[in-house]
């Protein structure tokens, strides 16, 4: 599912260059649950963003399901992200003016192959119900707790039945109980649907739930267990 080959990422910094990733190579098979761990500044989130096509490597290549991001136009990349990937971020990225239901529906309302609105709404209602948010579906993000907002973000990520779920510190802003609930939701979904999960985390409990753990430091993969 994921094939990263010799990827580097550098950013201009003053008169010099900041190197965030140094020749990273990684393969993740379809159906794997993989956690990426390491100290802050190790390059974990940058790697996740490159895999998801949200950024472009300075060198090397990223392939998803056999297709290189670099071979696609921006429009093709956007359509591929929407069809193939679900994203869950630490800071939720919900649209504040929209309700939980409307935020969940968003991924299905873009792109060429749109479902009837009634089917989209029914799917979003089903997901929110599964995540314990049926009574909160008309509430906006500002009216929800941190744990509830993250569950809405997970529902949105699952809306298009993605084959790949990319999670960047999904419990970083949550208390212990809410974080444990998010972990349960992710692992239950992975077991039920068999999709691929790549998760960046500082949380030992999240890392232990994965089938494989990738350790990063200073922009390099130093171990895999």
What are the DSSP calls for 100-126, one per residue?
A: HHHHHHGGGGSSSSPPPHHHHHHHHHH
Residue 183: predicted pLDDT: 85
| Residue 180 pLDDT | 85
CB 170 within 8 A of CB 190: no
pLDDT value at residue 225: 86
Residue 134 falls within a domain, yes or no?
no
Q: 220 versus 180: which is more confidently predicted?
A: 220
- pLDDT grade for 111, boundaries at 50, 70 and 90: low
Judged against a pLDDT cut of 80, whether residue 213 lies above it is answered with yes
Residue 193 lies in a domain: yes
- When pLDDT is averaged across residues 83-104 and rounded to a whole number, the result is 93
CATH number for the domain that contains residue 79: 3.40.50.300
Is there a domain that residue 12 lies in?
yes
Q: How many domains does the chain have?
A: 1
Range of the domain at 30: 2-94+161-224
User: With b meaning 16 or more CB within 10 Å and e meaning fewer, what string describes 133-143?
Assistant: beebbebbbee
Q: What are phi and psi of 208, to 5 degrees?
A: -65, -25
d(CA 190, CA 206): 13
Would you place residue 112 in the very low, low, confident or very high pLDDT band (cuts 50, 70, 90)? low
In degrees rounded to 5, what are phi and psi of residue 195? -80, 170
Query: How many residues are given for the chain?
Result: 225
Phi and psi at residue 128, to the nearest 5°: -65, -35
- Is residue 39 domain-resident? yes
Query: So what's the pLDDT on residue 171?
Result: 84
Residue 110 placed within a domain: no
Give the pLDDT confidence score for residue 163 in this predicted structure.
Answer: 92
Q: Does 118 fall in a domain? A: no
Comparing CA positions, the residue from 17, 99, 30 lying closest to residue 59 is 17
Distance CA 223, CA 188 (A): 27
User: In the predicted model, what is the mean pLDDT of the chain?
Assistant: 92
Domain assignment present for 81: yes
Taking CA atoms, 200 is separated from 48, 79, 96, 165, in Å, by 8, 24, 25, 11
pLDDT above 90: percentage of residues in the chain: 70
Q: What distances in angstroms separate CA 31 from CA 138, 141, 196, 198, 213, one per listed residue?
A: 34, 31, 4, 10, 15
- Whether 117 is in a domain gets the answer no
């Amino acid at each position: 599912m994921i094939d990263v080959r010799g990827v580097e990422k550098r950013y201009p910094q003053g008169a010099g260059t900041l190197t965030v990733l140094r020749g990273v190579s990684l393969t993740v098979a379809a159906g794997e649950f993989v956690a990426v761990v390491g100290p802050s500044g190790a390059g974990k989130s940058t790697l996740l963003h490159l895999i998801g096509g949200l950024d472009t490597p300075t060198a090397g290549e990223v392939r998803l399901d056999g297709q290189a991001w670099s071979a696609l136009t921006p429009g093709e990349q956007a359509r591929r992200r929407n069809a193939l990937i679900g994203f869950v971020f630490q800071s939720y990225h919900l649209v504040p003016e929209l309700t939980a239901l409307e935020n969940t529906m968003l991924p299905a309302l873009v792109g060429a192959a749109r479902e009837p609105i009634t089917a989209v709404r029914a799917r979003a209602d089903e997901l929110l119900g599964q995540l314990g948010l049926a009574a909160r579906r008309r509430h906006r993000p500002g009216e929800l707790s941190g744990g509830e907002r993250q569950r809405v973000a997970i529902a949105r990520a699952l809306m298009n039945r993605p084959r790949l779920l990319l999670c960047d510190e999904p419990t970083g802003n949550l208390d212990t109980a809410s974080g444990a609930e998010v972990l349960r939701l992710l692992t239950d979904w992975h077991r039920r649907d068999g999709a691929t999960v790549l998760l960046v985390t500082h949380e030992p409990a999240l890392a232990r739930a994965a089938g494989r753990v990738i350790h990063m430091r200073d922009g390099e993969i130093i171990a895999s267990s």
